């Protein structure tokens, strides 16, 4: 990732804002009928977790080379919008479909799994309840066939 696109201080600012209460947090007990988007805490909470995940990815030697030329801001916005939409939120995903976006990249299973692990680490850091964590990770895993091996 381009160093100028994303810095730890930017994540620190997001985390500070969330700590001060601007981000909603997942409820202790899921409310019947709420979407995963709502149970995760909405767009701001998803964005904070994705910011943290991008930091994990950038530090992960198993996959960080895959993102060396990526625009972290663009990556973050697309990932937030995609997770938001697939979790039942009001977001609009404007990126390419997963198969087209990853065509000719030849991403391996272990690289995809590392990405999911880095995202899971962020969910754990933000203390996302197990049910919501697993549901969100399942959304990511549903895309694996469109991403791996193309």
User: Is residue 15 pLDDT above 90, yes or no?
Assistant: no
What one-character-per-residue DSSP string does 70-118 give?
--HHHHHHHHHHHHHHHTT-S----S--HHHHTTT--B-HHHHHHHHHH
> In the chain, what are the domains?
8-26+36-147 (1.10.490.10)
Separation of alpha carbons 148 and 145, rounded Å: 6
User: Is residue 93 pLDDT above 80, yes or no?
Assistant: yes
Q: With cut-offs at 50, 70 and 90, classify the pLDDT of residue 22.
A: very low
| Structure confidence at residue 16 (pLDDT) | 34
Tens-digit pLDDT profile for residues 51-74: 999 999 999 999 999 988 888 889
pTM of the model: 0.77
Tens-digit pLDDT profile for residues 24-42: 444 445 566 899 999 999 9
136: which 2 tokens? 């969100």
| Structure confidence at residue 28 (pLDDT) | 43
């Amino acid at each position: 990732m381009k160093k100028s696109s994303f810095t730890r201080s930017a994540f620190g600012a997001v985390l500070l804002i969330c700590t001060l209460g601007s981000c909603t947090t997942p409820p202790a007990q899921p409310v019947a009928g709420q979407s995963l988007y709502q149970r995760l805490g909405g767009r701001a909470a998803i964005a904070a977790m994705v910011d943290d995940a991008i930091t994990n990815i950038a530090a992960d030697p198993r996959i960080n080379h895959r993102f060396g030329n990526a625009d972290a801001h663009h990556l973050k916005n697309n990932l937030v919008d995609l997770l938001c939409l697939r979790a039942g939120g009001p977001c609009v995903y404007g990126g390419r479909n997963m198969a087209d976006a990853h065509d000719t990249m030849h991403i391996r299973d272990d690289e995809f799994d590392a990405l999911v692990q880095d995202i899971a680490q962020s969910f754990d850091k933000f203390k996302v309840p197990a049910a919501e964590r697993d549901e969100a990770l399942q959304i990511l895993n549903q895309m694996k066939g469109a991403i791996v091996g193309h």
